[in-house]
Structure 1
Amino acid sequence: MDWLQIFVLAIVQGLTEFLPISSSAHLILVPIFSDWNDQGLAFDVALHIGSLSAVVIYFRHELVGMTTSWCCSVARRGTDEDARLAWWVILATIPVGLAGLAFKDSIEGIMRSPLVIAAGLIVFGLLLAYADWRHRGTRDEYHLYWQDALWVGLAQTLALIPGTSRSGITMTAGLLLGLSREASARFSFLLSIPVIVLAGGLEIIGLASAPGPVDWRTLILGALLSGISAFLCIHFFLLFIRRIGMQPFVVYRLMLGVALIWLFGGSPS
Structure 2
Amino acid sequence: NSSILGDLNFEIVVNFGSLIAVLLIYWKDMIKLINNFFKYLKTKNSEYKSDYIYCWLIVLGCIPVGIAGFLLKDYIENVLNKSTIIIGISFIITAVFLFIVRKVRGTKEDKDISWKDALFIGMIQIIALIPGISRSGTTLIAALHRDIKRSPALKYSFMLYIPISLGTMILGVKDMMETPNMNSYILPYTLGFIASFIVSYYTLRWFKGVVQKGRLAYFSIYCLILGILVILFL
Report the equivalent of 1:64: 31
Deviations 1:209-254 (A, max 9, x none): 4343324344334323322332233223222332252112212222
The 5 Å alignment of 1:1-269 reads 36-39=2-5, 40-75=7-42, 77-78=44-45, 80-112=49-81, 113-133=83-103, 135-214=104-183, 215-262=185-232
Structure 2: gaps spanning 5 or more residues: none
Q: 2:210 touches 2:219 (CA, 8 Å); kept in 1?
A: no
Deviation at 1:204, TM superposition (A): 1.7
Equivalent residue of 1:80, what SS?
helix
One-letter code aligned to 1:46: V
String of CA shifts for 1:173-211, please: whole Å, max 9, x gaps: 011111222222111111110111122123223223434
Between the aligned partners of 2:193 and 2:227, the Cα distance in structure 1 is 29
Percent sequence identity over matched residues?
28
One-letter code aligned to 1:241: V
* Conserved 8 A contact 1:70-1:87: no
**Which secondary structure does the structure 1 equivalent of 2:118 belong to?**
helix
CA distance in 1, matches of 2:55, 2:41: 11
Seen in structure 2, the aligned counterparts of structure 1 residues 258 and 45 have a Cα distance that, compared at 3 Å, is closer
Partner AA of 2:226 in structure 1: L
What CA distance in whole angstroms lies between the structure 1 residues aligned with 2:23 and 2:180?
Answer: 29
Moved more, 243-252 or 146-155: 243-252
Residue 47 of structure 1 and its aligned partner are, at CA, apart by: 1.9
Considering fraction of residues, name the structure with more helix.
2
CA contact (8 A) 2:210 2:218 kept: no
RMSD after superposition: 2.3
Aligned residues of 1:132 and 1:172 also touching (Cα < 8 A): no
- Compared with structure 1, are the counterparts of its residues 204 and 123 closer, same or farther at alpha carbon in structure 2 (3 Å cutoff)? same
Normalised by the length of structure 2, the TM-score is 0.86
Change (3 A) 1:219 1:115: closer
AA matched with 1:152:
I
Report the Cα offset of residue 89 of structure 1: 0.8
* 1:62-97 deviation digits (Å, cap 9, x = unpaired): 111211222344457245221121111111011111
Change (3 A) 1:76 1:149: farther
AA in 1 matched with 2:206: F
Structure 1 residue 262 displacement after superposition: 4.6
Report how far residue 56 of structure 1 moved. 1.5
Normalised to the residue count of structure 1, the TM-score between the two structures is: 0.76
